[in-house]
Amino acid sequence: MRSLTVLVALSAMLSLSAAKEDFQSDTFVKQHLSSIGTDEARASVKNRLAQGDLNFQYLNVAGIVQGKLQFVSEGDKFVSVLKIPSPEYWGEQFASDGKKTLVKQIKPGIYSALGRFVFEHNEVLTEGLWGGTLSTAWALSHMDERHAKLQDQGLKKVDGRELHRLDYMPKKSSDLQIELYFEPDTYRHVMTVYSYHVMARAGGGPMASAGQEERYYRLEERFADFKNIGGLTLPEKWTIQYDSGGNGRTAGRGSASSITQFEATDPQISQNITVDPKNFEIK
């Protein structure tokens, strides 16, 4: 019986290995891009503007602040603004010209927790990951230029449904774990998760290691409510959640007040508009 169990386990491992070897990233990328639109329809779009209302909140804390979203992209360039009317925290502004990036400080010399995360891991911007398929700079639309790699992780359960996970690995080494999730039947991109963890010291001295604990940092983008816009299938719901470093002992990893969320629903999306090139200049 034991030998049979070992044989079954070995067979399962070999099957999984074979499935991963059969994965062709080029084929998957083509299927995904086709889920957005035809080659002709995608090529016809030179730029895109998404703008509208958004809600901001600290999860599990009473109160939602209403703000504005503006996201303009052209080729591999983009500017993203998440604006809320708050004197303590006005929101976020991220930009990339394909090489250089900008993360706006909330005060001179001070980044927000989310801003600091993106500033320290600017591959979120330079790789065209931010904003998913809402952006013309979308990473999987520029694989040939960026020379990134995709590693198949198979189907994973996320909130009760199965999604196909691919790990995205930039050409330049990074300590960031980047996970892309797709609907297995439509190949639509529905989620990106960026995460890393560090050992935080509780104090100094020769016994400091005893006071160490792992701290987790996680940024998540979710996309939903896909609709046909100018011949392309694009998401009209964009949810951004950032957990600024819990120790893994509480629900959601971080404390409730450390998890921030922006959510834009039903933005107005325009394509092939007149855009001033100065919008993308980064000094």
Q: pLDDT tens-digit profile of 252-276?
A: 334 444 799 999 999 999 999 999 8
| 72 in a structural domain | yes
Q: What was the pLDDT predicted at 20?
A: 52
Contact 85, 67 (CB under 8 A): yes
Q: Per the structure block, which two tokens stand in for 151?
A: 């590693």
Phi, psi of 117 (to 5 degrees): -60, -50
Three-class secondary structure of residue 76 per DSSP:
coil
In sequence order, the 6+-apart residues with CB closer than 8 A to the CB of 204 are none
| 230 in a structural domain | yes
Confidence of residue 2 (pLDDT cuts 50, 70, 90): very low
Confidence of residue 87 (pLDDT cuts 50, 70, 90): confident
DSSP per residue over 134-179, as a string? GSTT-GGGSHHHHT-EEEEEEEEEETTEEEEEEEEE-SS--S-EEE
| 191 in a structural domain | yes
| 141 in a structural domain | yes
Q: What was the pLDDT predicted at 209?
A: 47
Contact 238, 273 (CB under 8 A): no
Q: pLDDT tens-digit profile of 196-245?
A: 988 765 555 444 444 556 788 999 999 999 999 999 999 999 999 999 87
Q: What was the pLDDT predicted at 283?
A: 75
Confidence of residue 29 (pLDDT cuts 50, 70, 90): very high
Question: What's the one-letter identity of residue 86?
Answer: S
Range in 20-29, 51-60, 103-112, 207-216 the model is least confident about: 207-216
Range of the domain at 186: 24-275
Q: pLDDT tens-digit profile of 149-158?
A: 999 999 999 9
Question: What's the one-letter identity of residue 60?
Answer: N
Is residue 10's pLDDT more than 90? no
| 1 in a structural domain | no
Q: Per the structure block, which two tokens stand in for 198?
A: 């560090």
| 32 in a structural domain | yes
Question: Rounded CA gap, 234 and 146, in Å?
Answer: 23
Q: What was the pLDDT predicted at 203?
A: 54
Confidence of residue 247 (pLDDT cuts 50, 70, 90): very low
Q: What was the pLDDT predicted at 208?
A: 46
Q: Is the pTM of this model over 0.75?
A: yes
Contact 18, 10 (CB under 8 A): no
- Split into its structural domains, the chain has a count of 1
Q: What is the CATH number of the domain that holds 149?
A: 2.50.20
Contact 35, 29 (CB under 8 A): no
Compute the mean pLDDT over every residue in the chain, rounded to the nearest whole number.
Answer: 86
| 283 in a structural domain | no
Question: Rounded CA gap, 25 and 31, in Å?
Answer: 10
